[in-house]
Structure 1
Amino acid sequence: MNEKLQMATTRAYLKLSNKVQDLRENEDGLETAEKVFLVVGSIILAAAVIAGITVWVNGQIALLPTN
């Protein structure tokens, strides 16, 4: 599950990065709506990464021996 989440977030990040790079190279620049979508996409991507890390850390904590 964690590998799938990591792969999905990596793909989403790469798509967003490529989109931003393409828009920077374009003479027209970014439109307001595109900026909003990129910001929202970045926030969703960050939330997915944080959720994945949280799941992994909680799994590791569960593996700790208890006395």
Structure 2
Amino acid sequence: MEEHGVQIEKDTEDEEPVEGTCEICELRDAEYRCIRCGKIACMSCFWVMLGICKECITEEKMKELKEHYF
């Protein structure tokens, strides 16, 4: 993979596949893994641009993001 003209290797050996039901809402299929707590989460329970689940984001940060983007 290349980023900003620099060749980078994505290390996926240590990553567990994301399979199963979201550990946050327990309703939808999980698609992501939180980089903070390691839980698997669905799109509704995960902040893709931050890489963290909604349980790991602070109330203050969530308010700031909602004001800025929504």
Please identify which structure carries the higher strand content: 2
- Taking structure 1 as the reference length, the TM-score comes to 0.27
- Taking structure 2 as the reference length, the TM-score comes to 0.26
More contact order relative to length (CA 8 Å, sep ≥ 6): 1
Please identify which structure carries the higher helix content: 1
Rg larger in structure: 1
